[in-house]
Amino acid sequence: MSLKTNYTSNKKALLEIRSVQDKTVKVEFPAFLTSFTNSFSSNWSEEQVYGRQDPIGTFQSTKRSINVGFDIISYNADEARENLLMINMVTRMLYPSYSSTGTNALVLSKAPLVEIKFGNLIQEQNGSDNFLLGWIGTWAANPALDMGMFTPKAGEFLPKVYNATLDFTPQHRQDLAFNKGTAGNPNKFPYDGG
């Protein structure tokens, strides 16, 4: 199942989110970005030893975190319903899959991993379709109440605009190091400039 709005013709300006549990579950939001950060933190353990003014550092890992804020805009009630379905679908992607053991107990079978792509700013460097694997830590889509709502029938409220944010932790599937012979062009990580 794939959902997307019809109010953008620029296919390169889409924020795409796809479930790893079921790759047919995919949403596409036109990228009306309000914020974007791509941060990297290098983790080291430090040991202070006698007679040395600086600690000895042992590298442990580098963590990447992507935070995106964007507006989800509806131009009519039909698009507002479609946007609500896409928001629901992203929310469902935050939950794992379970399988039955036959004893009325459920066992976690698939973690709620997702894949995300946004042009050259969020992408896997060497993937076949360039979706970046990871998980969403925080997802929020809040109605912008000052923008109003569509009320096509009694009891149905469809916000015209949502302010959405997501925090994404990538899991890179390729070597990003400065090794000789590393696949792909290392100068295109993390952004491909052409």
**Apex CA 91: angle with CA 22 and CA 8, to 5°?**
85
CA 7, 16, 143, 35 torsion: positive or negative? negative
pLDDT at 7 over 50: no
Q: What is the pLDDT of residue 105?
A: 74
Indicate the pTM of the whole model.
Answer: 0.81
Q: What is the pLDDT of residue 77?
A: 95
**Alpha-carbon span 71 to 161, nearest angstrom:** 7
Condensed to tens digits (0 to 9), the pLDDT of residues 143-172 reads 999 999 999 999 999 999 999 999 999 998
**Alpha-carbon span 34 to 141, nearest angstrom:** 13
- In the chain, the amino acid numbered 123 is Q
pLDDT at 9 over 50: no
